[in-house]
């Protein structure tokens, strides 16, 4: 009888995020910590652990640990793994009851790890265990990240159907379109087989969604040198795949989330989304105040009130969301008031600029007034964003006063 997959379990998807990997207080004997995330992998776990230990004992005896992180699998994978601990003392087992999800399982394992190099390998033997040594060699040569790749030289997939190949490549292409600078750094950004140096991710809040941890590591980590090693993704011999429609949705969610959170483009996208919400507020309020079926106030007064409320709406969202990293550095009501005044002035100048551009484009250049308005709005959005980025939510760098330090 097939076992329940994690998606049908009643546990919430990892509520305790973001997750931070700690720095190591001091270097111990363990150099490599390899996490094996499992859900219903009872049929493979023994073979995988014994093959990994055979390879690693020959090269890293006493200097590695394996950490199985299981999400309370109904097929008792965790219990089986615990029984293996007598035979393989370098094996640790974590059984999660409150959380689930592949990527967070790996992070929980890394949180408990002792190694300077952290890694992940699937629990179903689809990743050849001997690959760990090849990746380890790359780390020893100084890489920050060593990735097992299906699309590098000598890599591939065994017997994937055409449908699965298309889905896999399609997902990669979508990722490249959304985050070219991140997914473009490796040939197989959806790989679940890699080693990363602890210092590249320690202390950084990580918040992956679903399966694809490597993307999160590439996006948020401080990863310099990357090496890739090709491998053939094996056919599943035992157990069942956990990939579902939900996995694809989580992947898209993760991409969008990262796109909105990273860099100036992320800030601009958040700023534009807030601007769109302000347009709705403005329209709704104008309708409520001015329309004869509602309050029927004069157009000028109604427009002034609706614009100001929209500006307040936008300010609040920008302060709490778009520029929250800056807001955190400048707490207090007075600072917020200063930002509000600046924001208001910039938006009002933007409004005048909008009208000027509209007249210039439509009356002087003969562009249709609706198109002219659209162009003017586009230009003013950039204007508003740039000035607010530079003035309202600016981080002031204070140079230390050397005289003061010498006192």
Question: How many angstroms separate the CA atoms of 94 and 153, rounded?
Answer: 35
Give the DSSP letter of residue 8.
G
The alpha carbons of the chain give a radius of gyration, in whole angstroms, of: 27
Report in angstroms how near the CB of residue 58 gets to ligand GTP at its nearest: 24
Among residues 44 and 313, whose Cβ is nearest to Mg ion? Answer: 44
Q: Which residues pair with 21 in a beta bridge?
A: 202
What are the structure tokens assigned to 111, written together? 């949180």
Does 126 help bind ligand GTP (rule: CB under 6 A)?
Answer: yes
- Binding ligand GTP (rule: CB under 6 A), the pick from 3, 55, 199, 236 is 236
Among residues 39 and 323, whose Cβ is nearest to ligand GTP? Answer: 39
Among residues 75 and 124, whose Cβ is nearest to Mg ion? Answer: 124
Report in angstroms how near the CB of residue 121 gets to ligand GTP at its nearest: 8
Does 247 help bind Mg ion (rule: CB under 5 A)?
Answer: no
Question: How many angstroms separate the CA atoms of 302 and 295, rounded?
Answer: 10
Which residues 6+ apart lie within 8 Å of 393 measured at CB?
A: 318, 319, 322, 323, 326, 327, 339
Does 41 help bind Mg ion (rule: CB under 5 A)?
Answer: no
Question: How many angstroms separate the CA atoms of 48 and 55, rounded?
Answer: 11
Does 194 help bind ligand GTP (rule: CB under 6 A)?
Answer: no
Report in angstroms how near the CB of residue 102 gets to Mg ion at its nearest: 10
Among residues 5 and 313, whose Cβ is nearest to ligand GTP? Answer: 5
Does 241 help bind ligand GTP (rule: CB under 6 A)?
Answer: yes
Report in angstroms how near the CB of residue 37 gets to ligand GTP at its nearest: 4
Query: Residue 41 binds what, of ligand GTP, Mg ion, none (CB under 5 to 8 Å, by partner type)?
Result: ligand GTP
Does 70 help bind ligand GTP (rule: CB under 6 A)?
Answer: yes
Binding mask 89-128 for Mg ion (x = CB under 5 A): -----------------------------------x-x--
Q: Which stretch binds ligand GTP (CB under 6 A): 83-91, 165-173, 240-248, 327-335?
A: 240-248
Which residues 6+ apart lie within 8 Å of 326 measured at CB?
A: 393, 394, 395
- Cα–Cα nearest to 230, from 335, 143, 157: 157
Among residues 53 and 106, whose Cβ is nearest to ligand GTP? Answer: 106
Report in angstroms how near the CB of residue 11 gets to ligand GTP at its nearest: 9
Question: How many angstroms separate the CA atoms of 20 and 204, rounded?
Answer: 6
What are the structure tokens assigned to 362, written together? 């439509």
What are the structure tokens assigned to 4, written together? 């329940």
Cα-based angle 35, 41, 47 (whole degrees, multiple of 5): 75
- Cα–Cα nearest to 344, from 324, 364, 315, 368: 315
CA dihedral (256, 194, 201, 118) positive or negative: positive
Site for ligand GTP in 12-51 (CB under 6 A): 37-39, 41
Other CB atoms within 10 A of residue 212 CB: 24
Give the DSSP letter of residue 11.
S
Question: How many angstroms separate the CA atoms of 14 and 37, rounded?
Answer: 14
Report in angstroms how near the CB of residue 211 gets to ligand GTP at its nearest: 7
Q: Which stretch binds ligand GTP (CB under 6 A): 20-28, 51-59, 97-105, 319-327?
A: 97-105
Among residues 241 and 277, whose Cβ is nearest to Mg ion? Answer: 241
> How many residues sit close enough to ligand GTP to count as binding (CB under 6 A)?
21
Other CB atoms within 10 A of residue 118 CB: 27
Does 40 help bind Mg ion (rule: CB under 5 A)?
Answer: no
Report in angstroms how near the CB of residue 49 gets to ligand GTP at its nearest: 12
> Which residues here bind Mg ion, judged by CB under 5 A?
124, 126
């Amino acid at each position: 009888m097939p076992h329940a997959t994690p998606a049908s379990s009643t546990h919430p998807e990892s509520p305790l995020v973001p997750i931070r990997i700690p720095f190591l207080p001091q270097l111990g004997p363990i150099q490599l910590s390899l996490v094996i995330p499992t859900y219903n992998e009872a049929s493979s776990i023994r073979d995988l652990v014994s093959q990994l230990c055979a390879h690693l004992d020959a090269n890293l005896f006493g200097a590695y640990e394996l950490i199985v992180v299981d999400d309370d699998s109904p097929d008792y994978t965790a219990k089986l793994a615990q029984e293996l601990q007598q035979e393989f003392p370098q094996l640790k087992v974590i059984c999660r009851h409150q959380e689930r999800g592949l990527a967070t399982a790996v992070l929980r394992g890394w949180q408990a790890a002792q190694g300077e190099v952290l890694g992940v390998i699937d629990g179903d033997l689809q990743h050849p265990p001997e690959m760990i040594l090849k990746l380890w060699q790359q780390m020893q040569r100084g890489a920050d990240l060593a990735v097992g790749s299906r699309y590098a030289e000598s890599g591939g997939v065994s017997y994937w159907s055409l449908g699965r190949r298309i889905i896999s490549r399609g997902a990669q292409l979508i990722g490249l379109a959304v985050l070219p600078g991140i997914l473009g750094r490796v040939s197989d950004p959806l790989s679940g087989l890699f080693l990363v140096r602890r210092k590249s991710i320690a202390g950084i809040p990580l918040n992956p969604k679903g399966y694809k941890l490597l993307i999160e590591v590439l996006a948020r980590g401080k990863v310099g040198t990357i090496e890739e090693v090709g491998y053939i993704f094996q056919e599943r011999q035992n157990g069942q795949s956990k990939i579902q429609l939900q996995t694809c949705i989580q992947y898209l969610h993760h991409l969008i989330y990262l796109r909105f959170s990273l860099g100036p483009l992320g800030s601009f996208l958040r700023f534009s989304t807030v601007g769109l919400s302000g347009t709705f507020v403005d329209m709704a309020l104008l309708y409520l105040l001015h329309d004869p079926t509602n309050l029927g106030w004069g157009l000028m007064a109604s427009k002034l009130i609706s614009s100001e409320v929209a500006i307040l709406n936008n300010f609040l969202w920008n302060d709490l969301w778009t520029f929250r990293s800056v807001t955190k550095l400048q707490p207090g009501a007075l600072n917020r008031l200063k930002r509000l005044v600046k924001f208001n002035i910039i938006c009002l100048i933007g409004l005048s600029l909008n009208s000027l551009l509209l007249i210039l484009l439509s009356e002087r250049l003969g562009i249709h007034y609706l198109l002219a308005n659209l162009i003017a709005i586009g230009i003013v959005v950039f204007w508003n964003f740039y000035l607010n980025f530079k003035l309202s939510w600016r981080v002031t760098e204070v140079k230390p006063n050397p005289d003061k330090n010498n006192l």
